[in-house]
Structure formats: C-alpha cells, structure tokens
C-alpha cells in the first residue's frame, strides 16, 4: 500500500461546464458566455447555458458522489454569480453566494470534503469590457482579491482553496491562439483582435499577481481562524524527445516543461520566470516588481497538478517566431521510429501514457523541493463515445484502464521515487460542456443524457476507483 493513510480522492468539475442556469438568481455573463456566441468557436455550436443543470441538482450530485465512495469533491465557483460585474466596487449577489454556502454545508454533512477553485477560466465579462480583464496587471489582481475575500468570509468551513485553474490555458489558449475565451490572437482569420507576441505573457503575469494577492489575503486574514490551505493548480504534460539521440530534442523537452509548468511554478517556488523563457522572449516576458515578487514567491501551500497525457518533442531550427508560445518546438504523437505515445482518444491532444504521469510528478518534486502535491485533475476521453448508445458508453473499459494505470503510476512515484502526493481527483464526475469541443467530447465517469433531461448514469469507471484506492491507501493501523 503506497499511499498515505490520510490520502484523499474524489472527483472534479468546473462551474461553467456543469452548472447551467446562466441567467438565474442574478448571475451575469462571463467571458465564456460571450465567447460561445462567436460562430465557429465551439465545435457543435453549443454553450454552457444548460450544461448538466447542476445548479439545480446539488442534492442529486452530492448523493451521486457519496454513492461512488469518494471522500472529496473539487468544484469551482462562478465569479459572475457571486459578484456579477466582478469589480471591488460592484455589488455582491447574495443569492449566488448563498447557493455555494448551502452546497458546501451539504457536502460536509454528507462526509465529503470540498476543494474549492475560485476561478476556472470564467472571468466576469464586465471586467473584460471595463479594462481588458486579465490583461490589466493592476486592476484585475485587486478585483480578484476582493472576490476572494468575499468568498473566504462566507465559506469558513472550506479548508482547501485553489485560486486559478490552469493559468497556462487562460493565457496561451485565450490570448495566444484564440481557442479559449476571450478569443484573442494575432491571426485575423481566427481572432478579431489581440497580439499573440505579447498578450499571453501579460495575461499570465496578471494571473500570478492576482493569485499572490488572494493568497496573502487568506493567510493574513482568514487562515489563522479557518485553518485552511491555498494554492494554484497548474497543468503540464510529459515530454519525450522525438529523437533521443539528438541533444536539441532532449533540450527541447526541458524547454517544453519550463514553458508550461515553469512559467507559473518557477515564480512561485524559485522567485522568477525560467531562464529558458527569458532567453527566448526577452522583454516581452514581464518583469516582477519587488512588491509583485514578494506576493508571488512562496505563495503555494501545496502544488495543484492537472495532468492528462504526454508528447514527443522535436526542436525547431532557426530563430523563434515572435508568436510562438510553446518554446520553439513541435509536438508529435509518434517519435522518429514511428512509436506512438499512446492510443487515440476523442481528443487529438490526449493519448494515454501512464509513465509520463510518474515522470512529471518526479520532475515537479525535484525541481520545487518536494512540495505536497494534490492531483487536481486526471482523466481521459474515449474515442467515439458520443456516438455510442448509453449501454455501450457505460462499459468504458478504455477509461477504466486509463485510471488504473495512471493511479498505479502515481503510487509508484510515491513509493519508489519519494514524491509527496496527498490527493487525487478524477476528471470528471460527469460528462459536461468540454469548452471549445462542446458536448462532442465526454470525460465523465457518469454518462449525462443531454437528450433526456441531463440524467446521470454511472459508468464502469465510476465504480472502479473506490476499490482501487482501497487497495493502495494505507489503513490507519498500518495494515
């Protein structure tokens, strides 16, 4: 039994992906509400207007989580449901806040530990209109701190907080390629406005400073009484050289990790951006002021880790393009010899590679001084799942194998490599609005029947996690 006796596991979701009720009880639009209205941005032309209808089904969802044996649930808050216009001078919507107070109380009453993400990409639209949203490194952090303080005060029973989910996606996909809200980039065939050479780095910097402000507020004014911890969640895939005999491909793998993980983790754990990023980007990468550095450096009580897949990495020759945000390299699913990183899924970017999970856990642990790690997302889509009958989709053996091999790889990282992993959250509790992929792609361990009132049906993968963790988590008496 490799995992500690106090190890927690559960499922994860995000507000915009499951809640629906986008105009109910005073909620205002987020950048994703607006983004979904742009033709061609969402694969099936859908949005989160209804999603899984979870805003109205909290009692049902809690019973579902409980029935699957999970002891924890990670979910995010809709900022525009709590402070509809988003700003520190704007009114708080008590109905929206009360919704989450009740939800947290009911989770705890059911024996489920809440892990709460303050913002999972759905920034209030008004902040984007008012001053450019996360492109404003002065105003946005102040407004985010205010929102965080409102929530901290209202939810003292929450002991595990996450500021932002995957700031890389918000920055690189939202401002580099226009694939995510608010849909800005330099390519005018894809985006009506934006500058991919500068905006991703400005956005990332603002998110780090906002994270730092919220953490300082929590530590100084709430943690002493509430006794909780707070951190940020970062994504990161494993990287293997396309040609292991080529030193340039080997170096490109390190650059890949630094341009994704290090972009945000290095300032938090090491005090500044990675040297490889500065070498490529120069003064396009913002510089921390002394005050900003003091806010950000040391601002994690644990490391929130989202991980799904791995890539083969091949370096690019010549000077880097100013619009590049990957680290002057290419990503492949096959290496020079034609070997695949893993089997196909519904997502072109996702192929199972459980060894990559272990390797990234080890890389994070060694680079950042063996932090306590919570795996806040891990899961897979299944190729063609949305075209299957419900009966066939429920027999999701592909996803069962994914979870089994990935969780065991994580346990090996703990047992054999000394990585300090404290928790794991499967993505996701249920099929939901999968951002730019709409409802075409399913990640849930529970099937959602969008044609029959969003009914939930547990898949085989929903039932296998409890016995798996029972076999890996040490019992209190050590047996």
Q: State yes or no: is 166 an active-site residue.
A: yes
Residue 336: C-alpha distances to residues 254, 328, 341, 343 (Å): 18, 18, 12, 17
Catalytic residue among 19, 126, 377, 385: 377
Task: Select from 432, 426, 434, 421 the least CA-distant residue to 461.
Answer: 426
- Concerning whether 344 is annotated as a catalytic residue, the answer is no
Q: Which residues contact 272 (CB under 8 A, 6 or more apart)?
A: 266, 288, 293
Residue 125 in contact with residue 169, Cβ under 8 Å? no
The reply to whether omega before 182 is within 30° of 0 (cis) is yes
CA distances 21 to 80, 92, 119, 156, 443, Å, are 12, 18, 17, 26, 21
Marked catalytic residue, from 139, 166, 199, 434: 166
Q: Which whole-number Å values give the CA distances from 152 to 67, 121, 287, 457, in the listed order?
A: 29, 19, 30, 34
d(CA 218, CA 367): 26
Residue 72 pairs with which residues in a beta bridge?
10, 113
d(CA 353, CA 249): 19
Residues acting as catalytic residues = 166, 377
């Amino acid at each position: 039994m490799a995992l500690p006796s106090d190890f927690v596991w559960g499922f994860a979701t995000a507000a915009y992906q499951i809640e629906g009720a986008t105009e109910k009880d005073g909620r205002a639009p987020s950048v994703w509400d607006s983004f979904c209205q742009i033709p061609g941005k969402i694969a099936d032309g859908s949005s989160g207007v209804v999603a899984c209808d979870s805003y109205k089904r909290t009692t049902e969802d809690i019973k579902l989580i409980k029935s699957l044996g999970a002891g924890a649930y990670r979910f995010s808050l809709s900022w525009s449901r709590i402070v509809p216009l988003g700003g520190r001078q704007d009114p708080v919507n008590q109905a929206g806040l009360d919704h989450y107070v009740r939800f947290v109380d009911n989770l705890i009453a059911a024996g489920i530990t809440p892990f709460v993400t303050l913002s999972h990409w759905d920034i209030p639209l008004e902040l984007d209109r008012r001053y450019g949203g996360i492109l404003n490194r002065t105003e946005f952090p102040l407004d985010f701190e205010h929102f965080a303080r409102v929530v901290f005060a209202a939810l003292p029973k929450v002991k595990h907080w996450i500021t932002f989910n995957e700031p890389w996606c918000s920055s690189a996909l939202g401002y580099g390629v226009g694939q995510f809200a608010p849909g800005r980039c330099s390519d005018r065939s894809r985006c009506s406005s934006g500058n991919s050479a500068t905006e991703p780095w400005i956005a990332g910097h603002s998110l780090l400073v906002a994270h730092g402000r919220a953490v300082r507020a929590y530590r100084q004014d709430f943690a002493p009484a509430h006794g909780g911890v707070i951190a940020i969640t970062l994504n990161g895939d494993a990287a293997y050289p396309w040609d292991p005999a080529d030193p340039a491909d080997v170096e490109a793998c390190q650059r890949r990790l630094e341009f994704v993980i290090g972009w945000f983790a290095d300032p938090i754990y090491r005090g500044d951006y990675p040297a490889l990023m500065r070498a490529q980007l120069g003064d396009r990468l913002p510089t921390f002021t002394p005050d900003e550095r003091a806010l950000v450096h040391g601002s994690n009580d644990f490391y929130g880790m989202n991980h799904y897949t791995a890539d083969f990495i091949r370096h690019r020759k010549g000077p880097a393009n100013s619009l590049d945000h990957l680290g002057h390299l290419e990503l492949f699913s096959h290496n020079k010899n034609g070997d695949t990183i893993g089997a196909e899924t519904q997502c072109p970017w996702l192929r199972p590679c459980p060894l990559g999970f272990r390797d990234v856990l080890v890389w994070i642990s060694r680079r950042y001084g063996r932090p306590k790690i919570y795996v806040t997302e891990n899961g897979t889509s299944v190729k063609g799942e949305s075209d299957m009958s419900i009966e066939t989709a429920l027999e999701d053996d592909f996803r069962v194998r994914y979870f089994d091999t990935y969780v065991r790889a994580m346990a090996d990282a703990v047992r054999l490599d000394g990585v300090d992993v404290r928790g794991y959250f499967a993505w996701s509790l249920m099929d939901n609005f999968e951002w730019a992929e709409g409802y075409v792609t399913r990640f849930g361990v529970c099937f959602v029947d969008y044609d029959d009132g969003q009914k939930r049906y547990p898949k085989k993968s929903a039932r296998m996690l409890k016995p798996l963790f029972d076999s890996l988590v040490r019992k209190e008496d050590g047996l």
